Structure 1
């Protein structure tokens, strides 16, 4: 027997959430419609990033088994000497530029 976990919206808590959202939406649009409708285009645009954040939550769950073959950042940089050399050179260059701008600002 294959037991699958129900999505949130099909649980009793999900149905309650749907009911509360529906009731709040009804009163928002019926009682306060003239305050809400001018801002509706902005609310729809605001909904896009919110949906993007919440809809990415289910990507890849339960479809793959992950192995612990991934290296830590430290191991990756130790394995890649060129990366480490470039990183150090970039830090030194940034420090030199910062010192130069600080000395120019002090004048």
Structure 2
């Protein structure tokens, strides 16, 4: 990718003050919501763990990571 050094770098939304404030407010609200409804949530832990697997595959893909090739016995330096 070619980047022009003269272009100003614009940080992502989550790095801006408004994004950080929104993330902090969401984290605090989630904490209090979970604290108040902990008795209801504990019964659903197995289902939430099973739901986490497909969500992780949607977010990260399945094995599309850049990997360095493995060296074999016959490879020379």
**Structure-1-length-normalised TM-score:** 0.37
Higher relative contact order (CA closer than 8 Å, sequence separation 6+): 2
Choose between structure 1 and 2: higher helix proportion: 1
Larger of the two Rg values belongs to structure: 1
TM-score (normalizing by structure 2): 0.47
